[in-house]
Amino acid sequence: MDATVDPAGFVTVDGERFRCALGRGGLRADKREGDGATPIGRHRFGRVFWRPDRIRSSPVTELPRVAITPSMGWCDDPGHPDYNTLITLPHPARHERLWRDDPVYDVVVELLYNTDPIVPGRGSAIFMHVARPGFAPTEGCIALQLNDLLQILRIANEKDGVIVPG
């Protein structure tokens, strides 16, 4: 099962369409850090992170699951050796926090983009996560309503991923 992105703002999985938000910078094959673009290609699903204080039980999925703690972050500093990896806070390099005040990262699916190998500056923290109200554009991620994201996770495994067409 692959989730296929429609540039008009939908993800299709097993014939079912779900509304989504994409990167403010559009879809790009030549993704760069900070451009706000969603990277083109097939990106396998990695770990699923969730906020145990907001989502009472671990999402139902065959993917590896990790409960988010307040000390978790993701390094988005291309000049640091931890670039595009999960980090422990505090951290000296530029990063984003996974424990957010808003619900955007209540459930986060790591997309294995720029991971093997990690190329500094090619883009970091590309996730599937919860959409903001009105499906506001993301910084390059794919965002869905919480229930839609959880529905996709129920049938996902480590061989699956998301296809962003060029």
Task: Report the distance separating Cα 78 and Cα 93, nearest Å.
Answer: 9
pTM of this prediction exceeds 0.95: yes
At the topology level, CATH places domain 2-164 in L,D-transpeptidase catalytic domain-like (2.40.440)
Q: How many residues does the chain have?
A: 166
pLDDT of residue 121: 98
Q: How far apart are the first and last CA of the chain?
A: 19
**Over pLDDT 90: what percentage of the chain?**
99
- In this prediction, residue 52 has a pLDDT band, given cuts at 50, 70 and 90, of very high
CB count in 10 Å sphere of residue 93: 15
- In this prediction, residue 69 has a pLDDT band, given cuts at 50, 70 and 90, of very high
| Domain ranges, ordered by start, for the chain | 2-164
Q: 89-138, pLDDT tens digit by residue?
A: 999 999 999 999 999 999 999 999 999 999 999 999 999 999 999 999 99
